[in-house]
Amino acid sequence: MPVGPYLADVQPTPGTVLPVVTRASDEPLDELHAPVLDEFVGGLFVGYSFGPPFGRRLITWQDLERIEVPRRVLAREAAHNLEARLGEAQIHGQPPAVMLGFDGLASSLLLADALWADLADAVPGDLVVGLPARDAVIVTGSESGPGLEKVRRAVNRVYFAGDRHLLTRDLFVRRRGVWELTRASDPQWTGGSRR
């Protein structure tokens, strides 16, 4: 039986766990071999991975049963570990749009509220991100036309290149501390407002 892209030949061992933003697998998996996923936003989910290295394999329901850790404890520990590692996040480039780096899991940074509280004052308008792949997060402000265009182009380039862990062509805007979906192709999305 195929086990899908989430599973490698190695078994996870309890260690540090981090959250991983991902899409659901298109391949049917039985309940035990399916990854533990929590809904996030815009068709994306939060999975969990032991590491380092992180993201190579998502924790499955069978793994959770084997290590005897409740789901809530797993999620809480992953969030705590992410916050503790925020000092490892990197910002590349210059405004009007910058890219985030985080050891191949930049998309996980969307779950780190403290990071976005710090970045909110650095962009014009609301925070807007492109999240084309697990290792690609492009950030701008909703009131930056050149920044929004740069984010759209970067998302399209990542999709054209065919990254291994593609996520979405959609853009996300952060309002009142919550990520919301906006379609990259939505003609109503101009200057940070949906009319």
- The predicted pLDDT at position 30 comes to 76
- Cα–Cα distance between 185 and 104 in angstroms, integer? 27
Does residue 172 lie in a domain region? yes
Among 84, 100, 119, give the residue marking a domain's end.
Answer: 84
Which pLDDT score, from 0 to 100, does residue 193 have?
A: 41
Domain that residue 113 falls in: 87-194
| 115 and 164 belong to one structural domain | yes
Whether residue 80 sits in one domain with residue 143: no
Which of 24, 56, 84 terminates a domain? The answer is: 84
Say how many domains are in the chain. Answer: 2
Domain contains 5:
no
Domain co-membership, 127 together with 179: yes
The CA radius of gyration of the chain, in Å to the nearest whole number, is: 17
In three-state form (DSSP H/G/I as H, E/B as E, the rest C), the secondary structure along the chain is: CCCCCCCCCCCCCCCEEEEEEECCCCCCCCCCCCECCEECCCCCEEEEEEECCCCCCCCEHHHHHHHCCCHHHHHHHHHHHHHHCHHHCEEECCCCCEEEECCCCHHHHHHCHHHHHHHHHHCCCCEEEEEEECCEEEEEECCCHHHHHHHHHHHHHHHHHCCCCECCCCEEEEECCEEEEECCCCCCEECCEEC
Residue 15: the pLDDT is: 62
Boundary (domain end) residue, out of 33, 51, 84:
84
Q: Average pLDDT by consecutive 10-residue portion of the chain (195 residues)?
A: 33 71 77 90 93 82 91 94 94 93 94 92 94 95 96 94 89 94 59 39
Q: What integer pLDDT is reported at residue 46 of this predicted model?
A: 96
Write the single-letter amino acid at 93: G
Q: Do 162 and 190 sit in the same domain of this protein?
A: yes
With CA atoms as reference, report the closest residue to 39 among 93, 112, 131, 111. 111
